[in-house]
Structure 1
Amino acid sequence: MPKTLEVACTDEECDLDMFELHYTYNMPDGTGVESFACPHCGSADALEEIQV
């Protein structure tokens, strides 16, 4: 089963609370939250993986 990440945007100006990344089997190994930007505010530096 492909990896799923829960991600939060920590930018105080952003209204997005959290979202999920659902990987496909074609994602390169080592792809993590640092490879993405917030879909709402566009910030790449404010994303953090939610540790469950």
Structure 2
Amino acid sequence: MPPTQEVACENDDCFLDMFENHYTYDVPEDYGIDELACPVCQGTDLRAIEL
């Protein structure tokens, strides 16, 4: 099963507190949260949520 990652937006001005990122089977090994942006505010101050 492809990985799923929960991500929190740390921007205080953004109303989105978290989102899920669903990857495909062919996601590169070195791809991570640093390449993502918040889908609402486009900010890059993101934190991975560990369950």
Please give the TM-score of this superposition, normalised by the length of structure 1: 0.89
Matching residue of 1:19: 19
Distance 1:12 1:36 in 2: 18
Distance, in Å, in 1 between the alignment partners of 2:40 and 2:32 is 18
For structure 1, which segment, 4-13 or 21-30, has the greater mean C-alpha deviation from structure 2 after superposition? 21-30
Residue 13 of structure 2: SS of its match in structure 1? coil
**Cα displacement string for residues 4-51 of structure 1 (whole angstroms, at most 9, x for unaligned residues):** 10000010000001000000012111211111000000011x110001
Partner of 1:50: 49
Task: Tell me how many residue pairs correspond in the alignment.
Answer: 51
Q: For residues 2 and 48 of structure 1, what CA distance do their matches in structure 2 show?
A: 20
Identity, in percent, stands at: 49
Give 4+ residue runs of structure 1 displaced > 3 Å after superposition. Answer: none
